[in-house]
Chains A and B, each alone.
Chain A
């Protein structure tokens, strides 16, 4: 299987090539997700009583599930949903976390405490518990799952940005920019920010991989996407009931999660090498 060859090659490759492989896999996955309605051979929700737990064949390469629905079509649509939630949650966390982390790290002192203490509080709560409470308050659904994951990630990303902003603020070139008369805000915007974002970008890429897993976990628990919306987590939950008779109902959504996480890890690895060329052995 060519996927295995790609994975084996990627693990052996130097870091910058790993990032390229990761990015290529992800690019294919994104295209697949976007084009899901075109690529799907069947209606993902069409129930076919004749094909209950039917194995893979030419017209249904991934087989059918307990309701006779086409697993390939469902994986495609579910993947679309999962990827949107994963990417969306990290983007939301970045949009809030980057400014907060920058302000805390750059201004320090009282601002630092004011911004970081509440975030530390969030960090202290178990992630899943946090998500569960949020979903209990608002009600289940993909949008809420996205929000819950963003809330879990916000303190992590804010901390990463804060610590690099703190380090960058102590650099000579920041003092140099101030010595040239650049305003405090100008220094933050033009000198501290561009030099502080590298670690957050690396972290964000890795967190996107985990977000796919969290989204699947929430859906698996029935707290994310609601049936009949196809969702990787829901498919795992359903397929789990019939694992012995029809493993394909579980294997393919599982594989979709694994490959995505893997692609994000490769990208994160490569980005880290890019932003911090020291300490990298090729």
Chain B
């Protein structure tokens, strides 16, 4: 459980003047469910797309993305395509738009198999039907030829997951897989992801802005703020003893039963303009414990073996 499957080292992604991801380094271990947390626009999806190799051509990517030993950024487009959908696959946020409306759902699973395996149409079809059954689609052989709009949102997301699992990937990136779904369906989909990890040992990166989802499902979490990784810790640690002021603000903003009677708690301020980010720690303009030193970028420093924080205040707190 401790071998890193995916290692990001100093990964930065920019679009022209906009710095979407800034110097992120983290390891994802084999077989874990790793949460990538942060509010909208903090670079979670950009990070995921850079691992997939699906960033638009205008993106400037620096650093390293090591997957099973290879630096993905040095691979050819052909080699990256062979990894996509085979070793690394992705589940998108909205199943309603992630499936081709003009394509039978089963065929989209079969197509994914045939993109990577030299199997006959018939064989791909049989495998696709087995996969649809595995992700919990009732009468999969009949559903195979249905267009996506005949399926409910939850069923569509199951199909998307089936396409992602078609070739038994080592790494599954799920980009807010439940955001577009009803609450009851959310639990089912998250349960399905956990089952798949337990059964196949698939490593999962779960992108979420909902900390409740993270608490239930994930082993470790990385908190992103405005493209910077601010805290990295086991999920229990994030909830019990968060060290970064932003992580604390996120947790304080969780609606609880007690607070639900009154106004919802709100974290003050807004995400900085990424075309002109504040120098140093990007959270500093909103930070209640800002110090002079915060104009310099804080390093991600471990306070305990598994818990690291990029915050000057957290470090000074520990020294004191």
Chain A positions near chain B (C-beta within 8 angstroms): 171-173, 175-183, 186, 190-191, 194-195
Contacts and interface: CB of A to CB of B under 8 A. Distances in A.
B111 A173 contact: no
B101 A173 contact: yes
A181 B99 CA distance: 14
Given A172-B92, A179-B84, A182-B85, A191 B100 contact: yes
B258 to A, nearest CB: 38
A181 B100 contact: no
Nearest to A198: B102
A181 B54 contact: no
B98 A182 contact: no
Interface residues of B, number: 28
Nearest to B100: A173
Given A181-B84, A181-B85, A176 B115 contact: no
A194 to B, nearest CB: 5
Interface of B: 52, 54, 81-86, 89-90, 92, 94, 97-103, 108, 111-112, 115-116, 160, 163-164, 166
A176 B102 CA distance: 14
A175 B54 contact: yes
B94 A181 contact: no
Given A172-B92, A172-B94, A181 B101 contact: no
B92 to A, nearest CB: 6
Given A172-B94, A183-B81, A186-B115, A177 B89 contact: no
Contacts of B82: 181
Given A179-B90, A180-B166, A181-B112, A173 B98 contact: yes
B105 to A, nearest CB: 11
Contacts, number: 70
Nearest to B80: A181
B98 A181 contact: no
Contacts of A182: 85, 111-112, 115
A194 B94 CA distance: 21
Contact of A190 (B89, B94, B98, B103): B103
A252 B83 CA distance: 66
Given A173-B100, A191-B100, A179 B54 contact: yes
Contacts of A173: 97-101, 103
A176 B108 CA distance: 10
Nearest to B86: A181
Given A180-B85, A195-B101, 12 more contacts: A173-B97, A176-B160, A177-B108, A179-B84, A180-B89, A180-B108, A180-B163, A181-B81, A181-B82, A182-B115, A190-B100, A195-B100
Contacts of B103: 173, 190-191, 194
B81 A179 contact: no
B3 to A, nearest CB: 24
B102 A194 contact: yes
Contacts of B108: 177, 180
Contacts of A181: 81-86, 112, 115-116
Contacts of A178: 54, 81, 84
B86 to A, nearest CB: 6
A178 B99 CA distance: 12
